């Protein structure tokens, strides 16, 4: 990172890294410009304010903050860049100990991430997030990984995204996906039993009712309610056939 009268004091005062040096990415000037502005505006995406000293506009002149537009053909690209910015701002705020800024960056990253997991380039934003957080980070790293797990059906087919997760959180991902796959298999088995008993019910509605309800009782509350509604409809249908 090139030295300047703005970044030198920061680098001189922070020594968290093992080698005694602050390590910031290539995007550091842009990120630092956002951090400086946030100290005056309360928002690292807000760069128009009379309270911001004129000298800080020098940074913004070379590293402008882009704004999205709904008709932008690169909308998905903007989302990815926005996530990367959130992660880098979080890293910088963490080094500087600015808790309010950390919270804002986390909020924005986690707000956009669920809708971005299926976007091309999300893996790059995820990589930046992992490289910007400590392995035991609780505020951003773990919640972001949880988003990927919750969106497993979308992430499962994203090879590059999975590679990034396996590089940084292999144990968490392997355990979570194994449990999800076991749950899916168990759920499929229960529905297979349900379908089999439902077919019998259509011909002998009273005899198989208890057996079918045993299967239903093993389901989750939401699935159980839906299954019972189906049973009621099939019972009515079967009884109508036997009249």
* pLDDT for position 8: 45
Residue 112 pLDDT? 93
**What one-character-per-residue DSSP string does 169-202 give?**
-HHHHHHHHHHHHHHHHHHHHHHHHHHHHHHHHT
For each successive 10 residues of the chain (243 residues), what is the average pLDDT?
Answer: 43 41 57 75 64 58 51 69 91 89 94 92 95 93 93 91 94 84 71 65 55 65 71 62 50
What pLDDT is attached to residue 96? 86
Residue 236 lies in domain: 204-242
The reported pLDDT for the residue numbered 199 is: 60
Interior angle at CA 17, CA 14 and CA 23, nearest 5: 80
Of 159, 174, 189, the one marking the end of a domain is 174
Domains in the chain: how many in total? 2
Q: Are residues 94 and 140 in the same domain?
A: yes
> Given this model, what pLDDT does residue 87 score?
94
- 145 and 57 part of one domain: yes
Q: How far apart are CA 183 and CA 195, in angstroms?
A: 18
Q: What is the pLDDT of residue 48?
A: 52
Based on the domain organization, do 12 and 96 belong to the same domain? yes
pTM: 0.61
């Amino acid at each position: 990172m090139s030295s300047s009268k703005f970044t030198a004091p920061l680098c001189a005062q922070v020594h968290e890294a093992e080698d005694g040096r602050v390590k910031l990415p290539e995007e550091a000037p842009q990120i630092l410009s956002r951090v400086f502005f946030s100290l005056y505006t309360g928002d690292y995406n807000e760069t128009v304010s009379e309270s911001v000293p004129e000298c800080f506009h020098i940074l913004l002149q070379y590293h402008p903050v882009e704004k999205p537009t709904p008709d932008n053909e690169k909308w998905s690209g903007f989302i990815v860049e926005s996530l990367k910015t959130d992660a880098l701002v979080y890293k910088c705020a963490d080094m500087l100990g600015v808790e309010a800024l950390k919270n804002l960056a986390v909020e924005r990253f986690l707000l956009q991430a669920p809708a971005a997991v299926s976007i091309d380039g999300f893996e790059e934003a995820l990589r930046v997030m992992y490289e910007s957080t400590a392995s035991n980070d609780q505020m951003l790293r773990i919640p972001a990984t949880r988003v990927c797990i919750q969106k497993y059906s979308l992430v499962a087919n994203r090879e590059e995204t999975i590679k990034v997760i396996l590089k940084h959180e292999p144990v968490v991902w392997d355990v979570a996906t194994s449990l999800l796959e076991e749950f899916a298999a168990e759920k499929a088995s229960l529905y297979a039993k349900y379908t089999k008993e439902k077919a019998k019910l259509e011909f002998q509605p009273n005899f198989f009712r208890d057996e079918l309800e045993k299967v239903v009782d093993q389901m989750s509350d939401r699935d159980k309610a839906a299954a019972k509604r189906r049973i009621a409809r099939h019972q009515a249908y079967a009884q109508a056939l036997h009249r």
